[in-house]
Amino acid sequence: MASSNAEVLADGTGVDRRARLQNTIDSLIRLRQEVVVSYCKLSGVSSFEKRDIESHRIAADQLRSFCQVMVDYTAMGHFEVYQRIIEGKERRQAVKDASDEVYPAIAETTDFLVDFNDKYDAFDGSSEDIEMLSGDLSRLGQIIAVRGELEDQILAALQQKK
């Protein structure tokens, strides 16, 4: 009896679909938070107050770990949230409108994040790599912040009841 009720919910009312969507959104937000925390650690910023006085050395394994979390976050957004929109399968007008407005910029952030990952795939911690990375980290932080703001617009539209 319970399994037939679950089937009715999944097929009849969409409750199961909405619960899966909410779970996906929650997971994406958790991954984004993990990216931000990992970014702060990578950048050597333990707190806003100490950001100008801390010295920091980036280890290759720390950068690889950060890049893996960043790639997981980027992939989850693309394959779990945006793919349906890209393929034109989304029917809700609010989601379509939000996507039309912000998805092109999200795609640009995706390109930047993927390029960053590719660029630092062979990072070995040399002084040349460190110098190049320090310049790119500032831009990366901006990109992560912008992506989160844009993404929130689509996520809000996805969570609307209508």
Which DSSP helix (H) or strand (E) runs through 109? helix 93-119
What is the torsional sign of CA 57, 60, 64, 67?
A: positive
**Cα gap 31→113, rounded to integer Å:** 14
Residue 4 pLDDT > 70, yes or no? no
Residue 50: band (very low, low, confident or very high) from pLDDT cuts 50, 70, 90: low
Closest CA to 23 of 74, 71, 76: 76
**If you average pLDDT over every residue of the chain, what do you get?**
85
**Cα gap 112→49, rounded to integer Å:** 29
Residue pair 70/117 in contact by the 8 Å Cβ criterion: yes
Q: What is the pTM for the complete model shown?
A: 0.81
Residue range 3-8: mean pLDDT, rounded: 42
**Cα gap 132→8, rounded to integer Å:** 56
**Domains of the chain and CATH, by start:** 2-159 (1.20.120.1370)
Q: Render pLDDT for 119-141 as a digit per residue (tens, 0 to 9).
A: 999 888 888 888 889 889 999 99
